[in-house]
Structures are given as structure tokens and as C-alpha cells.
Amino acid sequence: MVANDTRYQESMGSQILSFIDKSMINDHYNCKAKCPKATSAKCQNGGFPHPRKCSECICPSGYGGALCDQRPTGCGQTLKAKESKQFLIDKLGFPSGVRDEFAFCNHWIEAPEGKKIEIKIKSISHGYAHDGCILGGVEIKTSEDQTRTGYRFCSPNDSNTVLISASNRVPIITFNRSGQHQIILEYKIVS
């Protein structure tokens, strides 16, 4: 199967449940109806109230906090883009072996309001180039619709791929469940 947008090719077959899948399951089982709109959390970035705790939200990947307006807690950082090139070097994983669960690291790259961000993949470790990025990789969310899964990359052949954000924030999610990998991204503000 070939993705209509070829940048989604490595996202297909992923073992990570997408936010849209979670939302559709909650729609199918009428779970969202359990939270009255008037008294439920006012979720941001496309999130929706958690059916078992309506004051908190279920958030798209790359977003956290009770209202989906914060970077998820744990590994990662918020970086401020400049007009000159900067680098994000992310090392994630375990000393050896394959695990059932992924480790995640959430970064945000931000620019001033009204600006966009260019992200260029400089390098990705060898040994992770599998359909669906089933062992590890990076998800880069440049779409205007932040509920959509970002583009996922896990092959050294993805080096020099360039993405331009639709807004002034780009969530970057690295994930790994096998050994240790390193991903290097270059980023800067563009007009």
C-alpha cells in the first residue's frame, strides 16, 4: 500500500494508536456523550474530555496537561527557534533488547506568533528502518490540524527531508523500544 502523501509512508503500520483512532473509538461507544459540554474541560488542540474524568482531556500526541495546552511531562524540552540554524539532538532508548512498550520524548519547537518553522532531518540511527517505524523513530507534527498523526521517520534515507510548519509550534515526538537511537534535527524560523 502506498500513502497518498508519501511523507506518511513510514507512519502506516505503526503499533502506536493514533489520536484519531482513540477519538473514533470513543465516538463509536458513545463515550464522549458522558461529559456534558457546559461543565466539562475546554480541551485545546483538538483534545476531548476524558469520559471517566470530564474535567481532564484526552490529548493528541505531543500535547499534555489537563487541557491539552502544555507539553507532556517527562523527557523533552521547549526550544525557541531563531532565524539562524539550531539543532535538536535526541538520544532515546535502552542499553539492549526489545521492549513491549515504547519510551517517548516530547519536544516543542516554537517561534514568534505569525512565523513558521523549517525542520530538516540531519540524521537518524541505522537499524530502525522498518515499515511502521515499529522499533523507533521520530514524529514531526507540522500540520495545521494537530489531531492528525505527524509524519513519522525512522530510516537514515530520510536524512535531508525538509518540512515547513503550518503554525509557530512544532511538536516533535521521538519514540523507541529497541536499543538506543539518535536523531538530529536542524530547525530555524522561516517567513
CATH of the domain at 169: 2.60.120.290
Dihedral sign of CA atoms 90, 91, 97, 99 in order: negative
Residue 92 domain flag: yes
Angle at 135 between CA 158 and CA 3, to 5 degrees: 50
Residue 104's domain comprises 73-190
Side-chain-side CA neighbours of residue 87 (13 Å): 8
Residue 87 domain flag: yes
Residue 147 domain flag: yes
Residue 180 domain flag: yes
How many domains, the chain? 1
Closest to 119 measured CA to CA, from 75, 168, 74: 168
- 76-116: pLDDT as tens digits: 999 999 999 999 999 998 877 788 899 999 999 999 999 99
List residues bridging with 92 in a β-sheet.
181
How confident is the model at residue 15, as a pLDDT?
A: 85
The contacts of residue 125 (CB under 8 Å, 6+ apart) are 156, 180, 181, 182, 183
How confident is the model at residue 11, as a pLDDT?
A: 80
Low-confidence ranges of the chain (pLDDT < 50): none
What beta strand segments (E) does the chain contain? Answer: 48-50, 53-58, 78-80, 86-110, 116-124, 136-140, 151-153, 162-164, 169-190
Residue 46 domain flag: no
How confident is the model at residue 126, as a pLDDT?
A: 86
- Backbone φ, ψ for residue 91 (5° rounding): -115, 125
How confident is the model at residue 117, as a pLDDT?
A: 99
Residue 44 domain flag: no
Which triple of cell numbers denotes residue 90? Answer: 535526541
Residue 169 domain flag: yes
